[in-house]
Structure 1
Amino acid sequence: MKRVTERRTYSYLGPAGTFTEAALDQVPEARGQDWRAVHNVGEALDDVLSGRSYAAMIAIENSIEGGVSTTQDALATLPGLRIIGEYLVQVNFVLVAPRGTPLSDVHVIAAHPVAYAQCHGWLGAHLPQHAHVPAASNVASAIGVLEGTLPAQAAIAPPGIVRHYDVDVLAEDIGDNKQAVTRFVLVTRTTRSPEPTGADKTSLIVELPHDHPGSLLEMLEQFSTRGINLSLIESRPIGDELGRYRFVIDADGHVNHERMADALLGIRRFSPRVVFLGSYPRADRQIVQYPERYEDEVFVEARDWLRGILTGEPED
């Protein structure tokens, strides 16, 4: 009998042609499945939590602008989510307009605020007198110009826009930083983390106890004393009062490894609230390096040694 495979739905920030769609296209198991375009991160994560979608692709960090605060705050406050993969997308932009529009007629530009910030140099050199109209996404900016719902003559958009919409490209490669990259994560409902690959990352959100001298250092020492490198640490206000922060952390390694598990136990004892977001393969597939004294076997031997002391076993 032929086995029937259940189709899965994946949510992403739409419409078609966005960088988020390009990130989702990197997920082999998502190809040929149902893709659901949504309007924002909150809607994407609600799809996952409600069961409308199996997973959602969301942007979490940009090499120019840093962490995506709306994503970080959503992951910190919505229980029941787990990151199962990360994907990198090279970020570049084009300036597009309705057919027949010359660059000299452009006085107002529609753009997502993050994209607009990454094109200041080109805009200042070529359109110094322009005004900016914010758009909900990099593709929504072009749609708004084409449909007349945004009061602009041109839009900043991803290069892939030309595959989906009838536009003239007025300028290519207008981003200020040619190495700009956006990091995306694939989020599903809480599940067991993927098996370790040796090139893994663990993400979590940690709240500090009530402010006291050295509290941040105490948190960081949970990782440094176990030989764990942090590839990301960003603060976000908790929002209940001034001076209270949570920290978004990416640590090199997997929760299945003894050193990481030991660090998380230390963090849990220290922090009033820890959100484990997941351990998953790094997008760059770079093997995590660490000193031999932090090998799993060293932690196991140390526990066995202590167990022998507690039980009164004779020493070798």
Structure 2
Amino acid sequence: MTQPRYAYLGPSGTFTEAALLAMVDADEVEAVPMIDVPAALAAVRSGDVEFAVVAIENTVEGGVTATLDTLSRGEPLVILGEVVLPVSFELAVRPGTALADVTAVSAHSHGLNQCRRWLAETLPGAVQIAASSNAAAAEELAAGVAGFEAALAPPGLAARLGLEVLETGVADNAHAATRFVKIGRPAAVPPATGADKTTLSVCLPDDRAGALLAMLEQFAARGVNLSRIESRPRSDRPGEYSFSVDALAHIDEPRMAEALVGLKRTNPVVIFLGSYPAATGYPTPVASGTSEEDFADARAWVQGLRSGRH
């Protein structure tokens, strides 16, 4: 039987590969490295792979815009699961290189941003060079073709590539973490677990005072808490924005389903990006009056009114 193919940001050794291996057994899948996030998601859309694992959010930089924008444009894709990994780096160099020799350092742009303060204090004169991934920067350095003397590499990769490590635990925030998601094509939604998220992209109907509040009230009125909301510019309407939202509920729950109905009625574009188990596994608190039983009782009461029962 053919193993499912998973696209991820390559080459081997990236944090994204580590996230993939935290989600699935390495012996049961074929991992396919990609040059960037859009390429990984395009491979799912084309059918070249069944799934992709991509970063969607980190605790330093917030949302990963390449993921948010690519998910909300083009053929539908959905999130099937998530994992959160701690993130810190090793400062890798070619053997014999001292810290004083480093005039340029490379990493993925998010990696550089996550170490901005450390780099300013430790390598104040070094040029920062963005790479397609942290692992790609380390590979270039090991191959001796790079225009830089150091790379911020995921832990363990330097030793594998024959590089030396000058510093470990490199990060501005010792508790930095990145959230990764598994992406697939739309199918039947997995059942609710009681500890779920629903991810959406919503475009407001017009640019007016109170439009965002009206959208948020669709959630608030039904007791649906949001764990993330951020604006993204609309490519088709300059000066206007869509909103990427993570709601702590599942589409099978009446409170989430009714919020979706309200959003669809009042907003021109609502893109459903999946209901899936949250990485924390903690049961989502349900406010009084918004449980499945509360909604069922209310519907039964209304039906009784229609039938003449008061």
TM bucket, shorter chain = over 0.9
Q: Which residue of the other structure, out of 249, 252, 255, is the alignment partner of 1:259?
A: 255
Q: Which residue of the other structure, out of 305, 309, 314, is the alignment partner of 2:301?
A: 305
Q: Partners of 2:51 and 2:67 in 1: how far apart?
A: 15
Residue 238 (structure 1) aligns with: 234
Q: Which residue of the other structure, out of 49, 72, 75, is the alignment partner of 1:53?
A: 49
Structure 2 unmatched runs, 5+ = none
Residue 172 (structure 1) aligns with: 168
One-letter code aligned to 2:309: E
Instruction: Summarize the Cα distance change of 1:237–1:21 in structure 2 as closer, same or farther, 3 Å threshold.
Output: same
Q: Partners of 1:14 and 1:242 in 2: how far apart?
A: 33
Q: Partners of 2:302 and 2:27 in 1: how far apart?
A: 50
Q: Which residue of the other structure, out of 114, 121, 126, is the alignment partner of 2:117?
A: 121
Residue 180 (structure 2) aligns with: 184
Q: Partners of 1:141 and 1:127 in 2: how far apart?
A: 17
Q: CA deviation at 1:81?
A: 0.7
Q: TM-score, normalised by structure 2?
A: 0.96
Residue 271 (structure 1) aligns with: 267
Helix, strand or coil at the partner of 1:242: coil
Q: CA deviation at 1:31?
A: 4.4
One-letter code aligned to 1:144: E
One-letter code aligned to 2:7: S
**Aligned sequence identity (%):** 43
Does residue 284 of the first structure (1) align with residue 284 of the second (2)? no
Q: CA deviation at 1:104?
A: 1.8
Deviation >4 Å, runs of 4+:
none
Q: Partners of 1:205 and 1:215 in 2: how far apart?
A: 15
Task: Please show how residues 4-153 of structure 1 align to structure 2 within 5 Å.
Answer: 5-28=1-24, 31-153=27-149
User: How many residues are aligned here?
Assistant: 310
Residue 309 (structure 2) aligns with: 315
How far does the alpha carbon of each residue in 1:4-40 deviate from its partner, in whole angstroms, 9 at most, with x for none?
x431111110111100011001113564311000011
Helix, strand or coil at the partner of 2:38: helix
Task: Please show how residues 178-217 of structure 1 align to structure 2 within 5 Å.
Answer: 178-217=174-213
Structure 1 unmatched runs, 5+ = none
Q: TM-score, normalised by structure 1?
A: 0.94
One-letter code aligned to 2:207: D
Q: CA deviation at 1:54?
A: 1.1
